[in-house]
Structure 1
Amino acid sequence: MKDIEHVFFDLDHTLWDFEKNSDLAFQKVFNRNNITIELEVFLKIYKPVNFKYWKLFSEEKVTKSELRYGRLKDTFDVLNYTVSDDLIDEIAINYLEFLPDFNHLFDGTFEILDYLKEKYELHVITNGFDEVQHKKLKSSNIHHYFNKIITSESVGAKKPNPKVFNYALDLAKADKDNSIMIGDNLDADVQGALSVGMQAIYCNFENNTSINGEFISVNSLIEIKQYL
């Protein structure tokens, strides 16, 4: 790790606590739109549906608008909750509007960023929507740590597509040999980075014991200090 000069972070599920913030955003959305389903019941169905749609989105099999509509429509259908397309559109808009209002970060985020900022140039590579991701970074007060922020929308491709990583390296004036990617997704972050010759650190926050490969695995952000 002595040759590392550039550290690229994923955002959601790595630094920014997506699950907690998303739950809070949906509570606000439900209150605004008088949705009478219990939030816990809705989220139990929604989360795996959302995961499925994001996987399809990363594989470029659905569009941004299809993701935003489909994940809600499918969830309400499973719950047999009648809702108009206009209301689904309103919920989708409200959700993305409210999501950056909540700024819970994983334990150790500020500590590890303060530590790394003194030694490396820091950047973000995220598959999230451009405007929303920038708002998240600013509302959680970590925007200033990063020199370059690369979103899939700005590139026109999504991790693990090599185009994203090569674009990020070029934008940061970095080389694959002096760069490392840190993220929670084995396919999008870790394998995506390895495929272009970068090193990678896997944020194994769920303590998945079956994980192995040619990359470092950490169970907390602070553990990164042992390697960088």
Structure 2
Amino acid sequence: MALKWLLYDLDNTLLDFDSGAEKSLNETFEEFELKNKQALIASYHQVNHRCWQRFEQGEIDIPTLKRLRFELFVTENSLDMNPAMLNRSYLTRLSQQVKEIDGARTLLDQSHRRFDLVLVTNGFAEVQHPRIERSGLRSYFKHVIISEEIGSNKPSVSFFEHAFRLMEQPERDQVMIIGDSLSSDIKGGSDFGIKTCWFNPKKMENTSPVIPDHTVESLELIPGLWSL
């Protein structure tokens, strides 16, 4: 059956989250006059990755994730400072970061002419809403779903059930999710029975049991999948 709906992930699919996070961390650590910034940034990324893994596996919720990652970061680096203040500074800066992935705007222009679009993100509402509005991407999407606001996250079935209720229950083979994360976007889509496209610009090897229907290394290749 022909595609009717496209679900787009936001971070590192349409907007360059990694560069925005790096810039925001640098500015935050400068504000608090922390030394060895690069080592601290590497440490933060490790802690953050562990926390997001626990979140995707359903072990912790968004408020816990938001609080815990800077608490662990401060503890593991023996820093004498308030983790909540670090967190607030970082999130405020992050909410202003809107650098686009190459080809994102062109892809959305093409997508919007042919399909109904839904933005699906596991991010924090206080960060994602300003980024979506500031970037000018909001007008492309019929619905925007942020995990914190609905109480469930990719890859959970409940996240996709919520999306399908908003979409008025299309046939599952009429829907494709496009995202950079095998563990949330592709696993969630595959488990729910919709088509999946893994955006893999870094050409990473897939060593997971999750098998996407399609893999692309550039956003400009995605329109070629729509008639397959």
TM-score by length of 1: 0.90
Identify the residue that residue 193 of structure 2 maps to in structure 1.
Answer: 197
Code of the aligned partner of 1:8: L
Code of the aligned partner of 1:110: R
- CA change 1:131–1:68 in 2 (3 A) is closer
- CA change 1:140–1:38 in 2 (3 A) is farther
Contact 1:6 1:174 in 2 (8 A): no
Is the partner of 2:95 in helix, strand or coil?
helix
Q: CA deviation at 1:186?
A: 0.9
- CA change 1:214–1:129 in 2 (3 A) is closer
CA–CA separation in structure 2 for the residues paired with 1:135 and 1:57: 23
Q: CA deviation at 1:103?
A: 1.0
Q: CA deviation at 1:214?
A: 4.8
Identify the residue that residue 14 of structure 1 maps to in structure 2.
Answer: 13
CA–CA separation in structure 1 for the residues paired with 2:18 and 2:35: 19
Q: CA deviation at 1:39?
A: 2.5
Q: Deviations over 1:62-84 (max 9, x none)?
A: 2333322322232233333322x
Q: How does 1:32-47 map to 2 (within 5 A)?
A: 32=31, 34-47=32-45
Is the partner of 2:21 in helix, strand or coil?
helix
Which stretch shows the higher mean deviation, 205-214 or 64-73?
205-214
Quick one: which of 93, 98, 102 aligns to 2:97? Answer: 102
2:56 paired with 1:69 = no
Superposition CA RMSD, Å: 1.8
Which stretch shows the higher mean deviation, 69-78 or 96-105?
69-78
Contact 1:182 1:203 in 2 (8 A): yes
Q: Deviations over 1:107-139 (max 9, x none)?
A: 111011111111111111111122321111111
Contact 2:198 2:212 in 1 (8 A): no
Is the partner of 2:114 in helix, strand or coil?
coil
Q: Deviations over 1:25-83 (max 9, x none)?
A: 12232233x23223312111111210110111122322333322322232233333322
Q: CA deviation at 1:153?
A: 2.0
Identify the residue that residue 123 of structure 1 maps to in structure 2.
Answer: 118
- CA change 1:173–1:131 in 2 (3 A) is farther
Which stretch shows the higher mean deviation, 109-118 or 95-104?
95-104
Identify the residue that residue 219 of structure 1 maps to in structure 2.
Answer: 217
Quick one: which of 56, 72, 84 aligns to 1:89? Answer: 84
Identify the residue that residue 182 of structure 1 maps to in structure 2.
Answer: 178
CA–CA separation in structure 1 for the residues paired with 2:124 and 2:220: 27
Q: Deviations over 1:127-158 (max 9, x none)?
A: 11223211111112211111100111232111
CA–CA separation in structure 2 for the residues paired with 1:193 and 1:65: 25
Is the partner of 1:101 in helix, strand or coil?
coil
CA–CA separation in structure 2 for the residues paired with 1:93 and 1:214: 36
Contact 1:129 1:152 in 2 (8 A): yes
Q: Deviations over 1:144-185 (max 9, x none)?
A: 111100111232111111111111011022512211100111
CA–CA separation in structure 2 for the residues paired with 1:114 and 1:142: 10
